[in-house]
Structure 1
Amino acid sequence: MTEFSDLGLSPTTLQAVADTGYTTATPIQAQAIPIALAGGDILGIAQTGTGKTAAFTLPLIDRLSAGRAKARMPRALVIAPTRELADQVAASFEKYAKGTKLSWALLIGGVSFGDQEKKLDRGVDVLIATPGRLLDHFERGKLLMTGVQIMVVDEADRMLDMGFIPDIERIFKMTPPKKQTLFFSATMPPEITRLTKQFLNDPTRIEVTRPASTNENIAQFIARIPLSDSKAKRMALRELIQRSEVKNGIVFCNRKTEVDIVAKSLKVHGLDAAPIHGDLDQSQRMKTLADFRAGNLKLLVASDVAARGLDIPEVSHVFNYDVPHHADDYVHRIGRTGRAGRTGEAFMIVTPADDKGLDKVLKLIGKTPAEAVIDLDWSEAKDERRTTEKSGRGRERGGRERGGSDRSRGRSRSAEPQAATTPVEVVAATEVVETVAEAAPKPRRERSRNRPERVAAPEQVEAAERPERSERPERSERSERRPRAENQREARPQADPEGLRSSRGGVKAPRAPRDDDDRRVVGFGNDVPAFLMRAPPRVTVDADAED
């Protein structure tokens, strides 16, 4: 065991550490602090809960004790992947730097730019930020990075998961090349290795434990259930919580929507729970975390945004409502308990659909957790949400089918004789509609049934939209203007519909539409249908119309 007093820290910093109740350094702290005090670059590989925050905060305070901050030019920069982790680093800095005159600022989203800019204008020694908000201030011209002497990147592998690596590269290039870099990550995927080779200067590699290994202080259990329904999983979760001596616990879900559902379900059944995930308002997230830390909230239902970096020392239980998509996330989730030498319990609910994900977790941790038997009446575990979704889809399909039937019935109703239309005319018009509907292109199904697709002029469009929908036979007449094959013309009954003859017995000549015409829609122009050409011999028809 290494005492903090053996690491070379200043008396002021040692007193701040002693005030927190800590006297013995963790392995990552014992190895990193002396190197950081000497000004060397560090590549620290350690799982969450091993004391990484103090490993860079304490030497940072000592190295910045001499000097003075300048406006908009921070002397040290700490980059964290999430708002919660950045806020935690700020709290740690405030706790250990209380005996100094160092200033700091927290730049995270969800907070007013104005308040943050005021602090930057006064000058800060340490800037703690998430990548997005830091770049926002830089692009606004409110921040200069040329005075950065020390740069810390925390939870680098989490940065990779969240897509922040391009932002981190850009921030590195904005800072002076000659600076001290403290780089921490729980795992070292190839992209992180490339980043360290590019920007770190001969770093000391400190690896205090096997990557992605679990803490031996955590008792791990698997709770297998026979159903994959969400309701069954919620029943199992409540059973695990109620039979365990939970002082406070975190429930992890894979999806944000599931976080809200599970939190609501727990509250409905009388359990003190609240959700936290990235879509919630920042003030709400901060309040929920504050209540959980203070002991005013028993259960925190979280997405993986809270899986890493949250330093809540006395979490007694962790519940994996979902088997995580990535095996590494299992290690980080259960790492919320069993911290600082304490013991904890972690449960993972496993359904028949989780075999593949479970195999990956077991392979990573290198052991099989004990079985937690859940004996419930699963006959009541039919998932109400899935039933609702299926019935909704059924209603949707039924609605579409009924809609099609209604439209068919609409066409049948439109074919009934009306006051100004004879049965002969209706039959001809209905057959024309069906024939043209098969031959004409239909970009939009509804449009082809309700409205002509080819309109000769704007005034014809206006006239076509004026008649009431009940006058469907007139819509059939409009369809006559569309091209038809010769065999279709020959197959059509050659009846002479009434109502189209003049008072003298001849065929009425086509006329242009009038604005006040409520019965006629459009004229045929020179494209007169063939059945209108069957006229008495004494009527002369223009030769062009016979085509």
Structure 2
Amino acid sequence: MKFADLGLSDELLRAVTESGYDEPTPIQAGVIPSVLMMRDIIGIAQTGTGKTASFVLPMIDILAHGRTRALMPRSLILAPTRELAAQVAENFEKYGKYHKLSMALLIGGVQMGDQVKALEKGVDVLIATPGRLMDLFERGKILLTGCNLLVIDEADRMLDMGFIPDIENICTKLPANRQTLLFSATMPAPIKRLADKFLSNPKTIEVARPASRNENIEQFLVKTSERGKKDALRDLIEVEDISTAIVFCNRKTTVRELAKSLQRFGYKAGEIQGDMDQSSRTAELDRFKKGIINILVASDVAARGLDVKGVSHVFNFDAPWHPDDYVHRIGRTGRAGAQGRAFTLVTPSDDEAIDSIQKLTGYTIPVHGGGAPKAQAAKPEAEAEEREPRRAGGRSERGGRGRGAAARPASEPKPAAEARPEAPKPAPQKKAPVRKPAPAARQNDDGPDDGWNGPMPGFLSVGFDS
């Protein structure tokens, strides 16, 4: 089947062809004709299957007829993250270049002023995250009564992020007689209830079993310890033929620490996590897409919505807490028919999480057997500096000599002055006749020695770390 067989306009087919596409993916072939027939849709497909274009393309043709009104968008696309919303906006710009459609992007982390100005002019397509949309709605800056087409993208991710109450609230403010498209990689019970409540006689299009294995992605487990994770990751990076890679962590603090660690070892690494403002996140993504950096350390804020061509590898530095997140993380590679490799570093405490992932996907992930870690003796100097931070005086925290120390053969014993100090041994005491000391002779530790080397009777001896 060709795109020309789906009923799209000539202008849209021209834009698709210029983008390098000729044949639709299964989800596109199933969804586009039904959307053009104004049907409500439930689309179930894995990430990386061309799902975004499956609703963007028919929307452009539907919206080609009609006019805009101030503060009243004609269509609304809800996305869970800023990155996913920006990706949808990029698709509209790419495929709608021969149509005169206006678009506004409502996301957090940026000033409202420009967004409000765009709404005042009137827009055909409004792409928004739920939080920013509700904020502007409550301020009276937007009306939803003229919105006749609603798209809920990544609905299962909306559920994970707690946006379902917001989506239900938004749906009540839209016209009852509207077309609704809901897309999700999985269909948990709360999403099914949402679809039953707000969609009218929807057509379900499922191109793969929910959360099933993507055959284009080779998956592996790498067994390690909590302290050995950084070593294991660097060994994999050295062994694997990496073009561009994304490393996922569960915590924002881990993202920051790991990115700095990789940079110290000379890797072109960057980071993206939820504490960064939108301009910084956008700048870091641009650096990654342009190849200025080729390793992006990210939290799950980037697991969905990142569509970067040529991502050859995904590394899960932490096993994800939710099995659905695993599917979306590894889905950043192996996109559009390309091959990809995904590695998950696992410790004994991750057994339950891995079991949940394998039950969800129906696939037993093999343990990686290649690329054994390099010998500890061969570790670069940067690692020694990371593990033994130097003090200002030129000595490490472990008492080693600084740069001024002369090299000494390993077999030569250290002089007594350089030897690690040991706990002093008490001097041998001459055995004196047993006699009862006078009461005035026994004093505290600051006074003269009375021959007692232990704690004072009746007191607790407590040691303090220096």
TM-score range, shorter chain: 0.7 to 0.9
Secondary structure class of the residue paired with 1:301: strand
Higher helix share: 1
- Note the C-alpha offset of 1:377: 4.6
Residue 228 (structure 1) aligns with: 226
**8 Å contact 1:222–1:372 — kept in the other structure?**
no
C-alpha distance in structure 2 between counterparts of 1:375 and 1:290, whole Å: 32
C-alpha distance in structure 1 between counterparts of 2:39 and 2:223, whole Å: 49
Match of 1:375 among 362, 373, 376: 373
Secondary structure class of the residue paired with 1:48: coil
C-alpha distance in structure 2 between counterparts of 1:301 and 1:339, whole Å: 19
Residue 90 (structure 1) aligns with: 89
Residue 357 (structure 1) aligns with: 353
Matches within 5 A, 1:97-246: 97-225=96-224, 227-229=225-227, 232-246=228-242
Secondary structure class of the residue paired with 2:337: coil
C-alpha distance in structure 1 between counterparts of 2:355 and 2:256, whole Å: 28
C-alpha distance in structure 2 between counterparts of 1:150 and 1:353, whole Å: 46
C-alpha distance in structure 1 between counterparts of 2:200 and 2:148, whole Å: 14
Matches within 5 A, 1:326-365: 326-365=322-361
**Partner amino acid for 2:101?**
L
Residue 289 (structure 1) aligns with: 285
- Note the C-alpha offset of 1:44: 0.5
Is the aligned partner of 1:255 residue 2:254?
no
**8 Å contact 1:146–1:175 — kept in the other structure?**
yes
Q: May I ask how many residue pairs the two structures share in their alignment?
A: 383
Q: Which structure has the bigger radius of gyration?
A: 1
Residue 459 (structure 2) aligns with: none
Is the aligned partner of 1:41 residue 2:46?
no
Cα deviations by residue, 1:11-40 (Å, 9 ceiling, x for unpaired)? 011111001000010010000000000100
- Note the C-alpha offset of 1:367: 2.5
Cα deviations by residue, 1:293-329 (Å, 9 ceiling, x for unpaired)? 1222201101111111321121011011111111221
Cα deviations by residue, 1:475-530 (Å, 9 ceiling, x for unpaired)? xxxxxxxxxxxxxxxxxxxxxxxxxxxxxxxxxxxxxxxxxxxxxxxxxxxxxxxx
C-alpha distance in structure 1 between counterparts of 2:273 and 2:13, whole Å: 36
**Partner amino acid for 1:375?**
P
**Partner amino acid for 2:245?**
G
C-alpha distance in structure 2 between counterparts of 1:119 and 1:11, whole Å: 28
Residue 280 (structure 1) aligns with: 276
**Partner amino acid for 2:332?**
R
Matches within 5 A, 1:493-532: none
Secondary structure class of the residue paired with 1:329: helix
Is the aligned partner of 1:322 residue 2:318?
yes
- Note the C-alpha offset of 1:94: 0.7
**Partner amino acid for 2:364?**
K
Cα distance change, pair 377–363 in 1 and its aligned pair in 2 (3 A): farther
- Note the C-alpha offset of 1:372: 3.4
- Note the C-alpha offset of 1:370: 4.5
**Partner amino acid for 2:30?**
Q
> Which of the pair has the greater relative contact order for Cα pairs under 8 Å at 6+ separation?
2
Q: TM-score when scaled to structure 2?
A: 0.80
C-alpha distance in structure 1 between counterparts of 2:58 and 2:100, whole Å: 15
CA RMSD of aligned residues (A): 1.9
Residue 298 (structure 1) aligns with: 294
Residue 394 (structure 2) aligns with: none
C-alpha distance in structure 1 between counterparts of 2:71 and 2:223, whole Å: 55
Is the aligned partner of 1:269 residue 2:269?
no
**8 Å contact 1:228–1:353 — kept in the other structure?**
no
**8 Å contact 2:223–2:367 — kept in the other structure?**
no
**8 Å contact 2:71–2:142 — kept in the other structure?**
yes
**Partner amino acid for 1:260?**
R
Is the aligned partner of 1:309 residue 2:305?
yes
Secondary structure class of the residue paired with 2:311: coil
- Note the C-alpha offset of 1:368: 2.7
Secondary structure class of the residue paired with 2:329: helix
Cα deviations by residue, 1:90-127 (Å, 9 ceiling, x for unpaired)? 00001111001110000001111111111111111000
Secondary structure class of the residue paired with 2:226: coil
**8 Å contact 1:81–1:131 — kept in the other structure?**
yes
**8 Å contact 1:224–1:372 — kept in the other structure?**
no
**8 Å contact 2:259–2:271 — kept in the other structure?**
yes
- Note the C-alpha offset of 1:369: 2.4
Secondary structure class of the residue paired with 1:325: coil
**Partner amino acid for 2:64?**
S
- Note the C-alpha offset of 1:362: 2.5
Is the aligned partner of 1:6 residue 2:8?
no
C-alpha distance in structure 2 between counterparts of 1:34 and 1:315, whole Å: 31
Gaps in structure 1 of 5+ consecutive residues = 386-390, 392-412, 414-547
- Note the C-alpha offset of 1:349: 1.1
**Partner amino acid for 2:199?**
L
**Partner amino acid for 1:252?**
F
**Partner amino acid for 2:68?**
A
- Note the C-alpha offset of 1:378: 6.4
**Partner amino acid for 1:28?**
I
359-368 vs 86-95, greater mean Cα deviation: 359-368
Report the identity percentage. 58
Secondary structure class of the residue paired with 1:124: coil
Residue 27 (structure 1) aligns with: 26
C-alpha distance in structure 2 between counterparts of 1:339 and 1:71, whole Å: 38
Secondary structure class of the residue paired with 1:176: coil
